[in-house]
Every structure is written in structure tokens, then in C-alpha cells.
């Protein structure tokens, strides 16, 4: 990895950490000291795993695990015991990021991997209603990432169009809690390392994620589960979406050359 991409990844992580701080503070104020304990525990775990892999590879892997720990602390169900939260976060950090070599080398959001592991392995009620402060903080974090161009507006627009289209086709689609939906879109689905990279692919990726959220919620998955597993599934298909866009561009260019 050259110096320029490494510096960009570091600045992107710093911007994301600043953006997630507002919803994190709102969550701590709403849920009390237990969430602060989880944050401290998660930051310690992230530091530990990054030091382990830095020693194994004999090179530093960055501080992106702190971002993963902060996002996880905002979204993980508070009913989970601390040891289960730690196990899920460790799985997300290691299997979603560090085994691939660190930020920018994997293809999934490590926070989404950690949350999916927690929700799948330790089923609990995950639908505690976030307060208005959490919704406002989530919007502020999303706006900051959009302004910094870390979050793609095309992903957001594709997501919104898919959700709005399904509402028009079938008005009975359930409405997800505002903060849960916005946080999932901004920090999981919109993660630039997990989302599609091509401009056209971002529209398709966002629309796919939006459709998956609506379908999973209708199937009774719950708000958080729907957003998390939609982010995971859309992230798996993101490389295929980008490849399809590249193939289409090559085909169009070849056709223009034949007829030019």
C-alpha cells in the first residue's frame, strides 16, 4: 500500500470517528454508564487486536479499529452481556478487517460483521427506541461524512429511492426507527470500504441495500437486524456490481469503436 492511500485511509477513519462521536454521546446519555463501559472495553479490544496483528506482520495496521469499536458501541443491543459483545466485536475486527491486512483491503464493514455475529449468535431484543437526540446526532454525523465526501451521496440517493419506491408500490411497508435507519445507512451501508466504488455501481448498491432493509423488516427481522444484514448482503454483492459496471463500460466503448 503506497503512502497516499494509507494517508487517505487514515484521514477517512479520523473523519468517521469524529462523525460517530455525536450519536455515541447521545447513546451514552440515553443509556447510561453501561454504554460508556462498553466503549472503553471496545476501544481496548481494538487496540489489542491491532497490536497483535502489527506484531505478526511487523508493520502497523492503523487505528481504524477504534472507528469500528465506536460504531459497534452505538448500535449493539444493550441487553447483550459484555463478554458476548466483546466476542462479537473481536470477530468483526479480526475476520472483517485484520485478516485481510487492515483498512482498505477487505470488502465488508467490520462493524457490520461484528453486529451480524452478535445478532445471529446471541438473539436478543434489539429494538430499543432511540430518542430524538440520537436521530439528530445521526443526521449530523451523516451530513459531516457527506461534506467530507467519505459517504457517497449516490449511495444515499439510491437507498432513499428504493425505500420510497417500495412505499409507493405497497404503502403498508413498515417505517423503521429514524436513528436506527440513519445510523445503519451512514456507518454500515455507506462505509466506503464496503460499498461499490464506481459511480453507477453506488446507485445500484444503495438501491439494493434499501430494498433489502425493507424486505427484511417486512419479514419480521427487526429494525437493527434488517439494517445490519442488509449492509452485510449488499457489501457481499458490491464487488460484483462494480464488475458489472466495468464490463458494461468496456462493452459500450468497444461498440463505439466499431461504429466510429
Task: Name the grid cell of 79.
Answer: 441487553
* Distance between CA atoms of residues 194 and 209, nearest Å: 12
Distance CA 28, CA 24 (A): 6
pLDDT for 8 equals: 42
pLDDT given at position 57: 82
The CA-CA-CA angle for residues 6, 40, 130, to 5°, reads: 95
Using a 10 angstrom Cβ sphere, with 0-12 exposed, 13-18 middle and 19 or more buried, the burial of residue 90 is: middle
Name the one residue in this structure whose C-alpha cell is 450519536: 23
Q: In the chain, which stretches have pLDDT less than 70? A: 1-10, 61, 104, 125-131, 170-177, 220-221, 260
pTM (2 decimals)? 0.87
- Output the CA–CA distances (angstroms, integers) from residue 147 to 15, 143, 144, 202, in the order listed: 10, 6, 5, 17
Say what the pLDDT of residue 179 is. 83
DSSP 96: T
The closest of 155, 172, 133 to 22, measured between CA atoms, is 133
CA-based max dimension of the chain? 68
Burial class (CB in 10 A: 0-12, 13-18, 19+), 136: middle
Residue that the C-alpha cell 417486512 belongs to: 218
Amino acid at each position: 500500500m503506497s503512502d497516499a492511500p494509507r494517508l487517505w485511509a487514515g484521514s477517512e477513519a479520523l473523519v468517521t470517528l469524529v462523525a460517530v462521536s455525536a450519536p455515541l454521546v447521545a447513546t451514552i446519555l440515553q443509556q447510561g454508564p453501561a454504554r460508556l463501559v462498553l466503549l472503553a472495553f471496545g476501544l481496548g479490544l481494538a487496540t489489542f487486536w491491532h497490536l497483535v496483528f502489527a506484531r505478526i506482520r511487523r508493520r502497523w495496521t492503523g487505528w481504524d479499529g477504534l472507528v469500528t469499536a465506536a460504531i459497534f458501541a452505538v448500535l449493539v443491543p444493550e441487553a447483550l452481556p459484555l463478554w458476548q459483545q466483546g466476542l462479537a466485536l473481536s470477530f468483526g475486527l479480526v475476520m472483517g478487517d485484520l485478516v485481510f491486512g487492515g483498512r482498505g483491503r477487505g470488502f465488508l464493514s467490520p462493524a457490520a460483521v461484528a453486529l451480524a455475529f452478535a445478532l445471529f449468535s446471541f438473539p436478543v431484543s434489539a429494538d430499543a427506541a432511540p430518542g430524538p437526540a440520537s436521530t439528530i446526532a445521526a443526521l449530523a454525523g451523516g451530513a459531516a461524512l457527506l461534506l467530507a465526501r467519505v459517504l457517497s451521496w449516490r449511495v444515499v440517493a439510491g437507498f432513499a429511492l428504493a425505500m420510497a419506491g417500495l412505499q409507493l408500490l405497497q404503502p403498508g411497508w413498515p417505517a423503521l426507527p429514524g436513528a436506527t435507519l440513519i445510523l445503519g445507512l451512514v456507518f454500515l451501508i455507506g462505509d466506503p470500504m464496503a460499498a461499490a466504488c464506481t459511480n453507477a455501481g453506488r446507485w445500484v448498491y444503495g438501491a439494493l441495500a434499501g430494498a433489502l432493509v425493507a424486505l427484511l423488516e417486512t419479514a419480521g427481522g427487526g429494525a437493527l437486524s434488517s439494517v445490519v444484514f442488509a449492509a452485510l448482503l449488499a457489501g457481499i454483492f458490491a464487488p460484483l456490481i462494480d464488475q458489472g459496471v466495468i464490463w458494461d463500460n468496456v462493452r459500450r466503448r468497444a461498440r463505439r469503436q466499431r461504429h466510429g
